[in-house]
Amino acid sequence: MTLKQLRYLIAITEAGSFSAAARRAYIAQPALSRQIGLLEDELEVQLLERQRDGINLTDAGRRLYEIARSVIQTVDSVKDELESTKGNPKGHVAIAIPVTASALLLPLIITRASKKFPSIELTVRDGLSQEGGEAIELGKVDFGVVPNAEELEHVHADPVFIEELYWLGQLTEPNDRNTITLAKAAASTLVMAPRSASHLRRRAEQAAMQTGVELNVVYEQQTAQGLSSLVRCGLAATICNWPAVEEGTQQSALRIVEPSLQRTIAIAHSTHKPLSFAASCMRDLVRSILVETVQSGRWKGELIEQPRPQEDA
């Protein structure tokens, strides 16, 4: 059994026929058929059934296909890691970011990654905090920017900054202080994401409960677009972070006080999925972007001071 034969099996399975796979693999169809025949002879089992409209995998073929995919992915990742040691990070890196900060982070991450690491194939997924957390826990992404790292299991988290949360809506009376008490914010007609999917919602409810009040959530919206549309039309207000405030330019943003509403933003990855060299490079790049957005005021928050390495005595 050779890696070449495994690649051919994958190609045939995914193309759906010998002829289509032969074209994709730039090999003559008889040669491709011979390689699969040799593989079946060696394993003493039939892997494929030829049909008029293509091929069908046997149970053994389906299992070998799954194993072959895993083996080839591992081999290719080793090649990428070795290539990266030459100073050119290479490979696929998947990142999760909060949907509330997508408009701010996505252009910065993609632009700078393509310039600094052109050999990295990048995927950036934006979603609610629950979605991002699950993607990190399950290893569906290499790392993510999350506000709910403390809720996740089997992850390594690097806290970056503490952000302030705001009430965003249309004011019915002047407010010169640019702040609002949590009790007053909670009493307004609110639209928020479902509790099960939103760390921000859970954090706000926790703080409200400790203050002895309850959030008046009249509307629930799964999407950022739906949520912002109700706020924009004046049907409700919401509680959000600063990147979302910048998107809502027609509304008034008041920082929540008494008590202040805060949460920690961290970069996290699964302890079961060590970072590749390429992923480590991207993590450092994303961290520098987060620090920059806080320092420039584009994301309101306070940086968490990193411990300095101890000097030798």
- Per-block average pLDDT, block size 10, for the chain (313 residues)? 88 87 86 90 90 85 86 72 69 91 94 93 89 88 92 92 94 80 95 90 93 95 88 93 77 91 94 86 95 94 76 46
Asked if residues 124 and 145 have their Cβ atoms less than 8 Å apart, the reply is no
DSSP annotation of 300 reads -
The region that residue 258 occupies, defined by phi over 0 for left and psi between -120 and 50 for alpha, beta otherwise, is: left
What's the pLDDT score for residue 313? 41
For the domain spanning 91-162+264-303, the CATH number is 3.40.190.10
Identical fold between 3-84 and 91-162+264-303: no
- pLDDT at residue 173, rounded to an integer: 75
pLDDT reported for residue 218? 96
Is residue 264 packed enough to be buried (19+ CB in 10 Å), middle (13-18) or exposed (0-12)?
middle
pTM for this model (two decimals)? 0.70
Residue 58 backbone dihedrals phi, psi, to 5 degrees: -75, 175
Rounded Cα distance between 130 and 296, Å, is: 28
Residue pointed to by tokens 């403390």: 150
Q: Residue 77 corresponds to which tokens in the numbers above? A: 């990742």
CATH topology of domain 3-84: Arc Repressor Mutant, subunit A (1.10.10)
Q: What is the CATH number of domain 166-260?
A: 3.40.190.10
Which amino acid would we find at residue 151? E
Domain boundaries, the chain: 3-84, 91-162+264-303, 166-260
In angstroms, how far is the first alpha carbon of the chain from the final one? 57
